[in-house]
């Protein structure tokens, strides 16, 4: 999704911060850009567009890319805040709380067969468990304005989500890190918090901020309050 999906949260944050929002390659204003093969290349594109010093806030795949940027250019990233994100999205023997690889592979096959249908299912999944799921879905579509990522970027982004592992980079970052989660997020199980706490004991984790994988769509104020608190700390 392009940065328009984050507009409610950007409006809240802009009352206290200068906010720079970046569309990933193949998304939004960068629709014609080619999705990079490696996460390091994606991180370099973000670094080229970002301010020289900033707090980096990454939602979902954006959080993974933000960790990679911090790994490549630690002096450019003052602090990291992961919003419904984790350094590794697929489960492993030493990372049991994440999603099973088989589930993500199945979604990748559905995306290859029928991108439009797969996107519709994913949009609905964002609000799974929320009492206002229908309202959230309508608001998301309003924010996106009918503009979706190109198919190659969707496929490449999902592949990166499945394969990337930025745990070592996050553990070695050595600067403030905050994590914000919504209740009942179907893509980031709450058990991931325990894995993260072991990875970086000084990390600040705030849960129960809104619901689902995109809590800022309908509750941007609550999410912004959590982010302000983390950055102040």
Q: What are phi and psi of 79, to 5 degrees?
A: -160, 160
Q: What are phi and psi of 127, to 5 degrees?
A: -110, 15
Closest CA to 227 of 45, 80, 67: 80
146 φψ region: left (φ > 0), alpha (ψ -120 to 50), beta (else): left
- Is 183 catalytic? The answer is no
Q: Which one is catalytic: 23, 185, 195, 219?
A: 185
- Is 141 catalytic? The answer is no
Q: How far apart are CA 87 and CA 97, in angstroms?
A: 12
Q: Which one is catalytic: 85, 195, 213, 219?
A: 213
Distance set, CA 157 to CA 33, 75, 89, 151, 225 (Å): 13, 26, 12, 10, 29
Work out whether strand 54-59 and strand 77-83 pair parallel, antiparallel, or are unpaired.
Answer: parallel
Partners of 59 in the β-ladder: 83
Q: Which one is catalytic: 60, 66, 85, 130?
A: 60
Q: How far apart are CA 206 and CA 103, in angstroms?
A: 26
- Is 78 catalytic? The answer is no
Active site positions, annotated:
60, 185, 213
């Amino acid at each position: 999704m392009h940065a328009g999906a984050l507009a409610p949260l950007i409006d809240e944050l802009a009352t206290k911060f200068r906010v720079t929002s970046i569309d990933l390659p193949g998304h939004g204003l960068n629709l014609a850009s080619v999705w990079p093969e490696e996460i390091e290349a994606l991180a370099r594109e973000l670094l080229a567009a970002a301010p020289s010093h900033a707090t980096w806030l990454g939602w979902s795949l954006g959080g993974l890319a933000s960790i990679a940027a911090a790994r490549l250019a630690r002096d450019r990233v003052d602090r990291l805040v992961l919003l419904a994100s984790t350094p590794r999205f697929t489960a492993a023997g030493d990372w049991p709380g994440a999603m099973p690889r088989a589930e993500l592979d199945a979604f990748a096959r559905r995306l290859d067969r029928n991108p439009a249908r797969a996107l519709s299912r994913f949009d609905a999944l964002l609000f799974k468990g929320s009492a206002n799921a229908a309202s959230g879905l309508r608001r998301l579509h309003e924010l996106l304005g009918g503009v979706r990522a190109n198919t190659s970027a969707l496929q490449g982004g999902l592949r990166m989500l499945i394969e990337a592992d930025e745990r070592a980079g996050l553990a070695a970052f050595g600067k403030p890190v905050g994590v914000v989660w919504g209740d009942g997020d179907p893509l980031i199980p709450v058990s991931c918090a325990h894995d993260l706490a072991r990875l970086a004991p000084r990390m600040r984790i705030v849960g129960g901020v809104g619901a689902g994988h995109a809590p800022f769509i309908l509750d941007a104020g609550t999410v912004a309050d959590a982010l302000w608190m983390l950055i102040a700390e």
